[in-house]
Structure 1
Amino acid sequence: MLKKLMEKNKLKLTVVLLAAIVFAVGWLLPVKLEGEAPSVLLDLKFPAIGKSQKVSVSVSDKNSGIRKIWVGLLKGGKELVLFKEDYPAAGLFDTDKILEDEFDIQIEPQKLGITDGKGVLRVMASDFSWRRWWNGNKTVVEKEVVIDTRSPELDVLSSVHNISQGGSGLVIYRVSEPCPTNGVQVGDNFFPGYPARNVIALPQSSEASDTSEIFMAFIALRHDQGSDTDLFVKTADYAGNTASAGFRHYIRKRSFKKDIIKLSDNFLNRKMPEFDSGMAHESSATPMEKFLAINRELRAANYEKIVQVGEHTDSKLYWDGAFLRLPNSARKAGFADRREYQYDERVIDQQVHMGIDLASIPRAPVPAANAGKVSFVGDIGIYGKTVIIDHGFGLFSTYSHLSHASVEQGQMVSKKDVIGQTGKTGFVFGDHLHFGILVHNIFVDPVEWWDAAWIENNILSKMNEMKSQ
């Protein structure tokens, strides 16, 4: 009897064990034999490797975990290992598996003995799946690259570069190879170049048979940049190799007018409430405290909004000839005037006027100073209703304090087209037009662009010189 009972229990135990094994295998095999390969991301902005190139690699495997990562460069039949890592096994139940890893590799071809030319960057990653006879799922990512450790060559073609404080200029130069970044550095400001072929019908001889190209860059000197300001052309190719070249230039020093603006209680009490919705004033702030916040903080924010528009321009030259001035108008304030604000015979603030104020009859029609594309229409704080026109290659004209704008963003306009009417919107004392010229993100003196002789001597003559070369 006892023997039969033992045999019966043994049978039950066997059945339970078999069931457990079947369950374990049924659960384990699908997990361990999962077929999803690791995800590999190879971050290389351009398919080129220069003198020192950072490559970012990211690998993830959400199921079995990472087993191995290998990174290498293949060139000329040789294989150079850049990175190799074997990751620890996670155990039967995957309790400590590594699901992701990311790292940077700094590639310096000359130190590694790699010559210039074409190559292949390869990343291989495998996981701890039992597939492929316990070798795991495998992912291979390859990217064809060009090893290029030579700096591009620069040749400044324009010969005369005279520029005034607060003025503009043009530099024309040739780059020996395609470069995503090139332009002119003026102190701490950078002015990008644009292909001259978009503007100038270059003679066949000027179009080099290799990969070189001629560029044009409109430049600006801030009103407060002096004769010690560095000016040079610079470029960087797709591999990150850089080059720079200076050029002969002359910076003309200027003196700017001092302007005194006397504030009255009547003006403060009348104008300050217009800005209450756009400023975070304390409810107890006095009109004078509001004025200072508007004239300092809001002015700076509005300035930044305008110059941000100047960061986006068309690589076409829309304008032709001298820019127009508001017809039948008188100048009320000049460019870079040093404004001193006085209240009750005390100086309470100082600012620089970055445009020219022109007054005509109230609500006078405002013509487009030159042909271009309307890049902005809207209210900008102290500038009031404003229209900004892109004339191409980073050259913009701005029209502020308008009572009405009759154009829309994206609209093409011709010289003399009416774009709005003068007004007294924004932070102003009376009806007038605040007119500005912007070169990328720097305001310059509009007087130069109103002067046909200045345009001929400083802009067009350089372009015509390229046509004859």
Structure 2
Amino acid sequence: MNAKKKSFRGWLLIIPAASIVVALVVLTIVRMEGKPPELTLEMTSPALGRHPTLAIRVADAQSGLRKVWVGLVKDGQETVLLEKIFPAAGLLSGGRVREENITVDFEPEAEGIKDGKAMLRLVVRDYSWRQWGKGNVNYQEQEVIIDTRPPAIDVLSRNHYFSQGGAGLVIYKLSEACATSGVMVGEHLYPGTGGFFKDQAIHMALAAVDHRQGPGTDIHVIAVDFAGNQGRSGLPHLINARRFKQDKINISDSFLDWKMPEFVHQVGVAAGSSHLEIFLEVNGALRRENYETLTHVTARSDPKMYWEGAFLRLAGAANRAGFADARDYLYDGKVIDHQTHLGVDLASVAQSPVPAANHGKVVMADALGIYGRTVVIDHGMGLFSMYAHLSHIGVRVGQMVKMGDTVGKTGRTGLAGGDHLHFSILVHDSFVNPVEWWDEQWVRNNITSKIKALGQP
């Protein structure tokens, strides 16, 4: 009996001891894990400018983060950009922080770092017991270029004459390849495009002066290189002020009863809203929504110059409304709304064939709210023409068209009160006066002569 008791007592001691040993073995295995921490460096370009920001993500799900170190080596000299120690959760638990996003801001000039090639070094360690308690390590190197000089801009074109609501061409040369360049008109950037000249450093930009921008509007050329440095060049220019027509549009009940039912599901109006209430929503909110659609359609333009010379006007058509006409909408003799007409209305025989105004690629052929059936053609380098209120569309998206090809027929779809063509010209997302582009002399003096002056046909 005593032997059995002694044996039982022995097992009582062995079992806890074995459990402790097993627990220590498991803990050791866990704490001795050998997976390096994660380290991700996000860079849009290997070029670092005057005020670069490095975005770094570090993570270690098992042992937790111990330390992050970032340095830059240039001409044999090492500059420490960041050294961060993360807190421990205890000997057995590893680190408290398992994941962190870090930004490193520095100024090369302030650190005495000169322009040129350099090596970025990044080290992250975890709280693993590996390497005698130093932890697993992830070490990375990234070659970079320190570039703190802004690009130089040389404006090559001359005689930059704009009309309020009009367009113009600027040709300039860059000292280096850039991520972005173009002409700033006020706060609006009109991007430039290269590849038209043998010298790839030469760029062209079509720019527009909004109908609300007059003399005194700042216009200059900017360029931002891949390191984020921005160069700027003034642009001698002249903006001719224009006064646009004031117009009054009477809205009748018969027009509302005819047109509004087709719009009721295109606007957010309450059930039972009157046709007048629907009209106000269509003329305001839907008009803005349609413009947003056009900004997406014109956001990309082929870096080619498809068009040649002056643009075609609908033959035998009379002007029914002009560009930038300021319209007051009246109902029962009272002004109910104000809008600006951003195109020219041309009326001819009902359902007249509508010609493509110049060579280009169809980028839209669909119904568009107040404009009805609409075609938009990309003529290259940010220049677009728009044909609205069509009764029929005769082209498809992606189709190449020649000047004079039929794109559809005039009509009265959308918010049109009668059969006509609403014709617009856009420079990127800005409406400009189509009359300029119908004028052969204007196109020659303001566009093509500038290109020919630099040796291109």
TM-score normalised to structure 2 length: 0.96
TM superposition shift of 1:10? 4.2
Instruction: Tell me the distance in 1 between the aligned counterparts of 2:23 and 2:91.
Output: 12
Question: Deviation per CA, 1:110-131, whole angstroms, max 9, x where unpaired?
Answer: 1101111101112111111222
Q: Which amino acid in 2 is paired with 1:430?
A: G
Q: Is 1:251 aligned with 2:239?
A: yes
Q: 2:113 aligns to what?
A: 114
Q: 2:182 aligns to what?
A: 183
**Matched ranges for 1:50-65 at <5 A:** 50-65=49-64
Q: 2:380 aligns to what?
A: 392
SS in 2 for 1:121: strand
Q: 1:323 aligns to what?
A: 311
Q: Is 1:341 aligned with 2:340?
A: no
Q: Is 1:199 aligned with 2:196?
A: yes
Question: Deviation per CA, 1:9-47, whole angstroms, max 9, x where unpaired?
Answer: 442133213421342144223312222211111122211
Structure 2 alignment gaps of length 5 or more: none
SS in 1 for 2:349: coil
**Matched ranges for 1:362-377 at <5 A:** 362-377=350-365
Q: Quick one: which of 400, 415, 422 aligns to 1:427?
A: 415
Instruction: Tell me the distance in 2 between the aligned counterparts of 1:324 and 1:25.
Output: 87
Instruction: Tell me the distance in 1 between the aligned counterparts of 2:240 and 2:383.
Output: 21
Please tell me whether the aligned partners of residues 88 and 94 of structure 2 are also in contact (alpha carbons under 8 angstroms): no
Structure with more of its chain in helix, by fraction: 1
Instruction: Tell me the distance in 2 between the aligned counterparts of 1:350 and 1:111.
Output: 55
C-alpha RMSD over aligned residues: 1.7
Q: Which amino acid in 2 is paired with 1:333?
A: A
Question: Deviation per CA, 1:64-98, whole angstroms, max 9, x where unpaired?
Answer: 11111111111111211111112222324427631
**Matched ranges for 1:228-247 at <5 A:** 228-247=216-235
TM superposition shift of 1:132? 2.7
Question: Deviation per CA, 1:292-321, whole angstroms, max 9, x where unpaired?
Answer: 111111111111211222211111111111
Instruction: Tell me the distance in 1 between the aligned counterparts of 2:395 and 2:32.
Output: 65
- For these two proteins, the number of residue pairs brought into alignment is 457
**Matched ranges for 1:207-246 at <5 A:** 207=199, 213-246=201-234
Deviates more, 1:27-36 or 1:312-321: 27-36
Q: 2:73 aligns to what?
A: 74
Q: 1:311 aligns to what?
A: 299
Q: 2:12 aligns to what?
A: 13
SS in 1 for 2:391: strand
SS in 1 for 2:265: helix
Q: 1:140 aligns to what?
A: 139
Instruction: Tell me the distance in 1 between the aligned counterparts of 2:375 and 2:417.
Output: 20
SS in 1 for 2:413: coil
Instruction: Tell me the distance in 1 between the aligned counterparts of 2:196 and 2:356.
Output: 21
Deviates more, 1:127-136 or 1:221-230: 127-136
Instruction: Tell me the distance in 2 between the aligned counterparts of 1:424 and 1:120.
Output: 65
Q: 2:256 aligns to what?
A: 268
Please tell me whether the aligned partners of residues 95 and 126 of structure 2 are also in contact (alpha carbons under 8 angstroms): no
Q: Quick one: which of 423, 432, 442 aligns to 1:444?
A: 432
Q: 1:102 aligns to what?
A: 101
SS in 2 for 1:163: strand
Please tell me whether the aligned partners of residues 86 and 95 of structure 2 are also in contact (alpha carbons under 8 angstroms): no
Structure 1 alignment gaps of length 5 or more: none
**Matched ranges for 1:289-304 at <5 A:** 289-304=277-292
Q: Which amino acid in 2 is paired with 1:143?
A: Q
Question: Deviation per CA, 1:363-393, whole angstroms, max 9, x where unpaired?
Answer: 2111111111111121111011111111111
**Matched ranges for 1:9-48 at <5 A:** 9-48=8-47
Q: Which amino acid in 2 is paired with 1:375?
A: V
Q: Is 1:287 aligned with 2:286?
A: no
Q: Which amino acid in 1 is paired with 2:112?
A: G
Question: Deviation per CA, 1:216-274, whole angstroms, max 9, x where unpaired?
Answer: 00000011101010000011111111111112111111111122111111001111111
Q: 2:164 aligns to what?
A: 165
SS in 2 for 1:134: coil
Instruction: Tell me the distance in 2 between the aligned counterparts of 1:333 and 1:142.
Output: 64
SS in 1 for 2:452: helix
Question: Deviation per CA, 1:402-432, whole angstroms, max 9, x where unpaired?
Answer: 1121211111111111111111110110111
Instruction: Tell me the distance in 1 between the aligned counterparts of 2:136 and 2:402.
Output: 63
Deviates more, 1:76-85 or 1:433-442: 76-85
TM-score normalised to structure 1 length: 0.94
Please tell me whether the aligned partners of residues 35 and 136 of structure 2 are also in contact (alpha carbons under 8 angstroms): yes
Instruction: Tell me the distance in 2 between the aligned counterparts of 1:335 and 1:128.
Output: 70
Please tell me whether the aligned partners of residues 196 and 203 of structure 2 are also in contact (alpha carbons under 8 angstroms): no
Deviates more, 1:217-226 or 1:134-143: 134-143
SS in 2 for 1:458: helix
Q: Which amino acid in 2 is paired with 1:251?
A: I
Q: Quick one: which of 358, 362, 367 aligns to 2:346?
A: 358
TM superposition shift of 1:6? 6.1
Instruction: Tell me the distance in 2 between the aligned counterparts of 1:383 and 1:62.
Output: 56
Instruction: Tell me the distance in 1 between the aligned counterparts of 2:196 and 2:127.
Output: 60
Q: Is 1:457 aligned with 2:445?
A: yes
Q: Which amino acid in 2 is paired with 1:466?
A: L
Deviates more, 1:369-378 or 1:164-173: 369-378
Instruction: Tell me the distance in 1 between the aligned counterparts of 2:319 and 2:220.
Output: 35
